[in-house]
Amino acid sequence: MTLGSGPRELVVLGTAGAVPTRERNHNGYLLRWDGTSVLFDPGEGIQRQMLHAGVSSPRIERICVTHRHNDHCLGVPGVLNRMAQDRPGRELTIHGPQDAVEHLHGLAVVAQANVRVRVQGHPALQEEVPVADVAGSALTARALDHRVPALGYRLTEPGHVTFSREALAAAGITGPDVGRLQREGELRGVRLEDVSTRRRGQVFAFVMDTRLCPAVGEVVAGADLAVLECTFAERDVDLARARGHLTAAQAGDVAARAGVRTLVLTHVSARYRGEELGREARAAVAAAGGRTTVHVAQDLDVVAVPPRRGRG
């Protein structure tokens, strides 16, 4: 099912929890962003899912892994071999927590693919850690709370200033003075906000296996599109806490309070139907007074990043 189209969109390759089912493949999420692609948490079978989804491996510049559990990274060897078939000798960076570096190196070695792989480990800190530049947007990570060190990822586009030609003409500002006004914020009594509109950049957030903790809300704060796990229903909240996961209601509540525009729920345990989890998440959004749109992902869904908003 396609929810939207455009150059910025999420292709859902797999949505199962620890165990795949007849309807759900292991994890896998591809973010298309301004001509490049980032692959998140490729579990087993993702190479085949890429074929079903029409995903082109040459556009994948990096793989981001949240933690070293195999349902989130066992697909790395197959993906590397696919890349070697499509473009031999290419370069690729795999990101993950420092705790996962040895494991990710091993997966790359097992692949024996003609791909120049760089595995980059990042510290799991209670603050944003720079990861990479993705087509001019900043990819960062911070620690979550799972049974092993885990990272949540956030991709933030810089804000933009759009000038009004009419307002500039009325203020008598032309040529190089336009750039000076943008740099200094005020020129000859004219303020930048008087002749322009500030448009916030888009934000994408990705949170997989974690207990509910303040970091979840911080990673997804103000996100236009956020992917959150919802392994358990609220009736099993104690089990979720013990195993280091979120419930659907917790995901909905935190997304609503953080101002997420579209929430994609995934990592669904085989014990549930997606409809039940969707109802719980939507009820939590309503109870929090939020306006978040909730979508329970199915394999091969394509979800567009919502269009940019104006001032902000």
pLDDT 10s digits, 275-296: 999 999 999 999 999 999 999 9
- Is residue 130 domain-shared with residue 189, that is, in the same domain? no
User: pTM to 2 decimals?
Assistant: 0.90
* % residues pLDDT > 90 (the chain): 81
Residues serving a catalytic function are 71
276: CB partners within 8 A, 6+ apart: 233, 248
- Is residue 184 domain-shared with residue 292, that is, in the same domain? no
pLDDT for the residue numbered 7? 80
Residue 26 in any domain: the answer is yes
- Is residue 85 domain-shared with residue 167, that is, in the same domain? no
Question: Tokens representing 140?
Answer: 């960062």
- Is residue 124 domain-shared with residue 183, that is, in the same domain? no
pLDDT for the residue numbered 200? 87
pLDDT for the residue numbered 131? 98
The answer to whether residues 84 and 50 touch, using CB atoms and an 8 Å cutoff, is no
Using alpha carbons, select from 53, 71, 51 the residue that is nearest to residue 9.
Answer: 53
pLDDT for the residue numbered 274? 80
- Is residue 275 domain-shared with residue 252, that is, in the same domain? yes
What phi and psi values does residue 100 have, to the nearest 5 degrees? -100, -5
- Is residue 96 domain-shared with residue 167, that is, in the same domain? no
CA distances from 287 to 143, 220, 230 (A): 28, 19, 18
Helix (H) or strand (E) holding 12: strand 8-14
Helix 248-257 vs helix 274-287: crossing angle, to nearest 10: 40
Question: Tokens representing 296?
Answer: 């329970």
Question: Tokens representing 84?
Answer: 């070697």
Question: Please, what is the average pLDDT of the chain?
Answer: 93
- Is residue 118 domain-shared with residue 256, that is, in the same domain? yes
CA angle 173-175-176, nearest 5°? 100
Tokens 């392994």 label which residue?
A: 231
Residue 35 in any domain: the answer is yes
pLDDT for the residue numbered 159? 86
pLDDT for the residue numbered 178? 83
Residue 222 in any domain: the answer is yes
- Is residue 183 domain-shared with residue 255, that is, in the same domain? no
**Domain end point (choices 150, 172, 194):** 194
How many distinct structural domains can be found in the chain?
2
Give the separation between CA 138 and CA 48, rounded to whole angstroms.
Answer: 30
Residue 39 in any domain: the answer is yes
**Domain end point (choices 171, 194, 217):** 194
Residue 190 in any domain: the answer is yes
- Is residue 226 domain-shared with residue 83, that is, in the same domain? yes
**Domain end point (choices 148, 174, 194):** 194
Residue 309 in any domain: the answer is no
Residue 235 in any domain: the answer is yes
- Is residue 99 domain-shared with residue 230, that is, in the same domain? yes
pLDDT for the residue numbered 1? 52
The binding site for Zn(2+) consists of: 67, 69, 71-72, 146, 209, 267
- Is residue 230 domain-shared with residue 276, that is, in the same domain? yes
Using alpha carbons, select from 309, 310, 240, 247 the residue that is nearest to residue 284.
Answer: 247
Residue 310 in any domain: the answer is no
* Residues of the chain where predicted confidence (pLDDT) is lower than 70: 1-6, 309-312
The binding site consists of: 67, 69, 71-72, 146, 209, 267
Question: Tokens representing 154?
Answer: 């956030």
Q: Which domain holds residue 71?
A: 8-159+200-304
CATH code for the domain of 39: 3.60.15.10
Give the separation between CA 239 and CA 236, rounded to whole angstroms.
Answer: 5
- Is residue 36 domain-shared with residue 130, that is, in the same domain? yes
